[in-house]
């Protein structure tokens, strides 16, 4: 018998995806550059399902039913190109290559176009949920042709996470759409983590709570509208005590956050598309600032405010304020991310169903949260929604939260606690609210020094003022 799908690249992610497929009753062909991983998988997990180990590219390809479906799960970048070049010549028209690694969507677009010329389907697929997700059900974001999804879709939906019986997998759109959406997912993940981290910092800094106490606060929040995987694991990390020192775990970890690059890509593409994703950008910059030991010269050289804690009655209700500020800021971060997906869709001609994206993020992935059900509902009710901030439930929630949100940002500024995520989210919200922005003045400045022209509120056309002359006459450009 032949395999219905094959996985090449059997490090932690590929191995777990292969096991997930086999556990769902699919016969899986296995391949890895070096044989060791293939043998180990069969030795350790061979009893979980039907595997066909292959020790050469030819053997692997021959083990597959037609049209062949090959999942590549190797290190993103050159290794992916190397593997594609190894297999593509052995495949036949109509066969499908799935890249489930964390590729940049521009690479996926290039690869898809090249393989389409050769009669092959190339499906760049976002997979979120880490190794546990890969094994027990990830959130899966496939791009590529609609035709490829006909054969591949049922398999991927089968192994994806399920929420209320719905699979956390849907065809996102053509070529790089899946990897684009996965990229934005990761950008939102950065923003969400930053906001949670700022909440911790505020509770600790302004109120002087200990990590274990704050873990309890997060546990409580996790029973309400903030119910999410990230809040849940935050409580666990905060409650953890370092075995060696007996100190809170967060106090013995170096405070320099690392990144693998998908957050940075999100911001780079946000800039290219002209989408204001300030929450994601601040989160990436906050990690970058944390890593700059050379810049972090400390409070002796950079004096702070005279007081650093809330006292007595001031402290009352502050934790609830932080919960509301977190919720409102989180809505902004997601609103920005979904706008970026919309913008990517327009730029690259993808017809992306935003409600479906929210739906498949409800389970399996790192940002899974109850809240995504509300986002799904918002886009189902109004697919052309300009921003999540205007949709009924979120609009009301932010209106209700905003006094707290403003208090938290003001308090953080007064106490000298850095909250770039909260602050930028609030500035974005106020930017959207403002009847007039000082951009008018910027247009005046631009026209003054560079004759860049401006538009008027009362007449159509482009205008220039002769700033250097005494009469400052206006002319139509
Ligand atoms: P790695 O990203 O560590 O890649 C290791 C695999 O790539 C091994 O199978 C290795 O083969 C293979 N490989 C390399 Br490296 N260079 C190769 C080449 N030139 N030709 C053929 N194979 C090559 O594995 P991972 O952590 O399982 O991640 C796999 C993919 O999934 C990545 O793109 C990653 O970004 C993505 N991803 C990871 C996570 C996560 O939580 N880890 C989550 C979501 C997505 P070898 O055994 O012969 O060295």
Shortest-distance atom of ligand 1 to CA 131: 41
Query: HSE of 20 in the Cβ direction (CA atoms, 13 Å)?
Result: 25
Q: Which of 138-142, 299-303, 378-382, 440-444 has the lowest mean pLDDT?
A: 299-303
Active-site residue set: 182, 189
Shortest-distance atom of ligand 1 to CA 13: 27
Torsion angle in degrees (nearest 10) through CA of 97, 100, 101, 106: 70
Cα(340)–Cα(177) distance, rounded to whole angstroms? 12
Average pLDDT over residues 133-160: 97
- ipTM of this complex: 0.97
Cα(28)–Cα(20) distance, rounded to whole angstroms? 10
Average pLDDT over residues 154-165: 97
Cα(326)–Cα(226) distance, rounded to whole angstroms? 9
Alpha helices in 416-461 (DSSP H): 420-433, 439-450
Residue 259 binned pLDDT confidence (cut-offs 50, 70, 90) = confident
Rounded distance from Cα 90 to ligand 1 centre (Å): 22
Residue 298 binned pLDDT confidence (cut-offs 50, 70, 90) = confident
Q: Give the model's pLDDT for residue 399.
A: 96
Residue 392 binned pLDDT confidence (cut-offs 50, 70, 90) = confident
Q: Is 101:70 a contact under the CB 8 Å cutoff?
A: no
Nearby residues of 350 by Cβ (< 8 Å), 6 or more positions away: 172, 173, 174, 177, 180, 344
Name the one residue in this structure whose structure tokens are 């974005």: 428
Q: Give the model's pLDDT for residue 475.
A: 97
Cβ–ligand 1 contact at 32 (below 6 Å): yes
Rounded distance from Cα 468 to ligand 1 centre (Å): 61
Shortest-distance atom of ligand 1 to CA 36: 47
Q: Give the model's pLDDT for residue 300.
A: 83
In 3-state terms, what secondary structure has residue 206? helix
Residue minimizing CA distance to atom 20 of ligand 1: 79
pLDDT tens string 162-194: 999 999 999 999 999 999 999 999 999 999 999
Q: Give the model's pLDDT for residue 106.
A: 98
Is residue 25 over pLDDT 90? Answer: yes
pLDDT tens string 51-86: 999 999 999 999 999 999 999 999 999 999 999 999
Residue minimizing CA distance to atom 33 of ligand 1: 101
Name the one residue in this structure whose structure tokens are 């953080």: 412
Q: Is 377 annotated as a binding residue?
A: no
Cα(3)–Cα(155) distance, rounded to whole angstroms? 12
Cβ–ligand 1 contact at 413 (below 6 Å): no
Torsion angle in degrees (nearest 10) through CA of 163, 231, 394, 423: -150
The closest of 282, 412, 417, 256 to 336, measured between CA atoms, is 282
Cβ–ligand 1 contact at 107 (below 6 Å): no
Is residue 309 over pLDDT 90? Answer: yes
Rounded distance from Cα 143 to ligand 1 centre (Å): 20
pLDDT tens string 233-255: 999 999 999 999 999 999 999 99
Residue minimizing CA distance to atom 41 of ligand 1: 130
Rounded distance from Cα 73 to ligand 1 centre (Å): 6
In 3-state terms, what secondary structure has residue 97? strand
Q: Is 75 annotated as a binding residue?
A: yes
Is residue 352 over pLDDT 90? Answer: yes
For the chain, the average pLDDT equals 97
């Amino acid at each position: 018998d032949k395999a219905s799908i094959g996985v090449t690249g059997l490090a932690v992610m590929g191995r777990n995806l292969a096991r997930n497929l086999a556990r769902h009753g699919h016969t899986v062909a296995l391949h890895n550059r070096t044989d060791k991983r293939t043998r180990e998988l069969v030795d350790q997990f061979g009893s979980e399902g039907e595997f066909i180990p292959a020790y050469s590219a030819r053997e692997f390809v021959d083990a597959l039913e037609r049209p062949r479906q090959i999942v590549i799960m190797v290190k993103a970048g050159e290794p992916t190109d190397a593997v594609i070049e190894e297999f593509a010549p052995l495949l036949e028209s109509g066969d499908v290559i799935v890249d489930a690694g964390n590729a940049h969507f521009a690479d996926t677009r290039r690869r898809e176009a090249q393989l389409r010329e050769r009669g092959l389907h190339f499906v760049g697929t976002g997979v979120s949920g880490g190794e546990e997700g890969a094994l027990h059900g990830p959130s899966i974001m496939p791009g590529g042709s609609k035709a490829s999804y006909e054969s591949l879709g049922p398999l991927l939906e089968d192994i994806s996470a399920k929420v209320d019986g719905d699979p956390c997998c849907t065809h996102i759109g053509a070529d790089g759409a899946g990897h684009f959406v996965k990229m934005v997912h990761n950008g939102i993940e950065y923003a969400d983590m930053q906001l949670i981290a700022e909440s911790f910092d505020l509770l600790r800094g302004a109120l002087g709570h200990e990590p274990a106490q704050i873990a309890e606060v997060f546990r409580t929040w996790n029973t309400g509208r903030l119910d999410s995987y990230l809040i849940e694991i935050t409580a666990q990390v905060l409650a953890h005590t370092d075995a060696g020192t007996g100190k809170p775990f967060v106090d013995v970890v170096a405070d320099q956050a690392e990144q693998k690059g998908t957050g940075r890509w999100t911001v780079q593409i946000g800039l290219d598309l002209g989408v204001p994703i300030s929450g994601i950008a601040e989160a990436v910059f906050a990690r970058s600032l944390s890593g700059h030991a050379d810049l972090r010269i400390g409070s002796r050289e950079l004096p702070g405010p005279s007081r650093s804690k809330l006292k007595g009655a001031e402290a009352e209700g502050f934790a609830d304020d932080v919960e509301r500020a977190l919720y409102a800021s989180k809505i902004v971060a997601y609103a920005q991310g979904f706008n970026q997906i919309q913008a990517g869709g327009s730029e690259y001609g993808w017809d992306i169903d935003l409600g479906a994206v929210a739906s498949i993020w409800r389970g399996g992935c790192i940002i899974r949260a109850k809240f995504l059900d509300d986002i799904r509902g918002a886009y189902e009710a109004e697919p052309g929604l300009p921003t999540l901030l205007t949709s009924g439930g979120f609009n009301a929630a932010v209106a209700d939260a905003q006094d707290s949100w403003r208090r938290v940002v003001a308090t953080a500024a007064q106490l000298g606690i850095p909250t770039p995520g909260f602050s930028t989210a609030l500035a974005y919200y106020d930017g959207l609210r403002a009847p007039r922005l000082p951009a008018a003045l910027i247009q005046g400045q631009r026209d003054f020094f560079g004759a860049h022209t401006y538009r008027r509120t009362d007449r159509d056309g482009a205008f220039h003022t002769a700033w250097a002359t005494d009469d400052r006459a206006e002319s139509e450009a």
